[in-house]
Each structure stands twice: as structure tokens, then as C-alpha cells.
Amino acid sequence: MSMDIDVVSLLRDLDFSIEEGMSARSWLLRSPEKSSFLVSVAPAVQRVTARMIRKIPIHRGSPVRPLLVGDTATESVLEQAIAGQVDVLTQQPLRVILSGKVFTPEDASPAPARRKLTSGRRAWGRWAIERCLLLADTPMHQSEIAEYVGVSQQMVSRVCKDLGPLATRTVDGVEILEPVKLLERWERKYPGAGGQRFGWYGLDPIVQQTQKAFDEAQLLDARPLVSGDVAADRLMPWKLPTRGLIYVDSPVDLAGCGFVPAPLDEATLVTCIPEDPTVWRLTGIGAYPIYADIELADAALAYWDVLNGHDVDSQEAAEQLAALITVTLSP
């Protein structure tokens, strides 16, 4: 039986980095001591068994090995993995066995203080509820908010109560009374979407690079959402885009459309597999433009990404987005 397992987060907890592999469906994993492994991730299952292994197509002579993912694995599978016959990632307990080498959390480098905040226990639901209220152009009922964000109505009720004088409940739904203060509160607490980032370098203008990468990611069914500079340029033209940012739900190989991999500090375009599971949930809320050629991350995420940029005009561009969000909210 298949199941949802956040493979990227598990590998990150094991201190692995993830890069593009030889194709759009393969990953290059680098271990804490910088060993490299080319893998293609098999669909996650509850328990990896020998019977499952027999169903996985293995291409003899290919440098790309299937990575079998499961909540657990049988002893016989673990024996095969330790013998170097298969590669396995398990969640309970957390470990990955690649080419016969076992990696556990104890092998990972000590995490810096900021990295400790990247666990799955972050308040993604709470922050998304606040983001939902910021994006809505009319009051929303708690049931609507819960459905959009993917949380319980009880959680929505608690968050709205915690907002105190910033919000009020009316017969029409939850209404924001202090949109500027709510945006400032959310921005201070929200840590960003997090996740695994891949840097790319291209020679075309940034807007053109972003469109090209978006189109390629769409072809690969990676659910791309454009944020950062280019999203700001579409929503409130003010900032000169200096780097593209696209959220995707799986690694995408852009080498075939004019890009080369690059360190993040040198990249002209970044693709990001976000840790925040709500990134895709709120794109349809509010009276914001819809484009035929590109899909944008919601205005609040774009605001956060631009505000936390490092260009001389990032602050002013973020202020333009903030004005768009809060004016939309004003009574």
C-alpha cells in the first residue's frame, strides 16, 4: 500500500544534499562526508518487502539505482541493502542504506541553531490560516478557511481567537480589523517556505529565464509556482528582477533548456521544493490577477520572499506588495 512520506525532509534530516541527477526523475545525493549516489526514488510504501523489490525494474549497467522508500522494511530487505544489492530509505527508524553503507541521524553533522527549526512540527497550519486571512478580499467563514488550508475548524477558531483585536467574527465570517499589523505579525513569525533549493545559471533576462523554467517544470508535472522578484513584477511592477524563484514539488532538470547548475549565491534562478506544505493551497484566494502564461505563488508568499531578498530595491518592492495586500483587505 502506497503512503505519503516526505523523502526530501528525511534525507535532509540525515544531512544529505539533493541535486539534479542524470534525468528529471533521478537525484544525485551527497552524504555528510560528500560521497555521491545516483538514485531514482520509488513510490513510498508502508513496508518495503522482498516481493516489492522483485517488481521494481532495475536497469543493469545503469549508474542510477532505485531508492526504495518505506515507513519500515523487512529484515531480509535490510540484509540485501547492507550487502549492497538494493538501496533503502526508512522512516521508522530513520536511516538510508546506499551501496551497502548505512546512514543514520547520528552520522549527520551537528545542526546549527536555525536548522533545528526546520522540523515537521513547525506551525505551518497556523501561519497558513493567518496568510489566508491576509489574502482574502472578503470575510471568510471558519469552515471555508479550514477547507482551503487543510486544517480543522477548531484550529482555525483557536488561531482567530489568538489574533485578539486584529480580527473579529461577524455573521459574514472572520473580518480583519488591522491588516497592516496582521501582515507585520505574520512576517515576523513566518520562517519562509524552507526546503531544498537548487541553483541554476542562465544568460537570458530574468523574466525570460523564469518563464522558460516554469514551462519546463510544467511539462515535468512539478506544479511550478513563481514567487520572488518575478511574481512581484507581475503583481506590483516596481522591482527590477535579479533572480527567478520557482516553487516545485519535485526536482526538475533544467539543463535541457539553457541552464547550468550553479551555487545558490551565483544562481540567476532557483527552484525550491518547499518544506511548507501549504504553499499550493492558497493561490486561489483573493482578487489577485490570474495569468494564462504563468502561475504565481500567493501574494503573501511573494511579499515574504521579496522582503527577505538582498537587493537595494527589495525593501521598497516589498512595501508595494504590502500595500496591495492590505488595501485589498481594507473595509
Judged by DSSP in three states, 117 sits in helix
Angle 114-120-126 (CA atoms, 0-180°, nearest 5)? 95
Residues 6+ apart with CB under 8 A from 237: none
CB atoms inside a 10 Å sphere around CB 248: 24
| The residue to which cell 473595509 is assigned | 331
Would the CA dihedral through 205, 276, 282, 159 be positive or negative? negative
Judged by DSSP in three states, 265 sits in helix
Residues 6+ apart with CB under 8 A from 221: none
Q: What residues are paired with 246 via a beta bridge? A: 226, 271
Measured CA to CA, the distance from residue 22 to residue 85 in angstroms comes to: 21
**Closest-CA residue to 37 (of 21, 24, 61):** 21
**Closest-CA residue to 155 (of 142, 165, 164, 168):** 142
Residue 58 pLDDT: 62
CB of 259 within 8 A of CB of 213? Answer: yes
CB-side exposure of 190: number of CA atoms within 13 Å? 28
Measured CA to CA, the distance from residue 160 to residue 203 in angstroms comes to: 47
Residue 42 pLDDT: 84
235 — phi, psi (to 5°)? -75, -45
pLDDT tens across 188-204, in order? 999 999 888 889 999 99
How far the first Cα of the chain sits from its last, in Å, is: 50
The number of residues making up the chain comes to 331
| pLDDT in single tens digits along all 331 residues of the chain | 556 677 887 888 898 888 766 665 678 888 988 888 998 888 888 899 988 887 776 655 578 889 999 999 999 999 999 999 999 999 999 999 999 999 998 765 554 433 333 334 579 999 999 999 999 989 999 999 999 999 999 999 999 999 999 999 999 999 999 999 999 999 999 999 988 888 999 999 999 999 999 999 999 999 999 999 999 999 999 889 999 999 999 888 898 898 998 888 889 999 999 989 999 999 989 888 889 999 999 999 999 999 998 888 899 999 999 999 998 655 5
pLDDT tens across 111-131, in order? 443 333 333 457 999 999 999
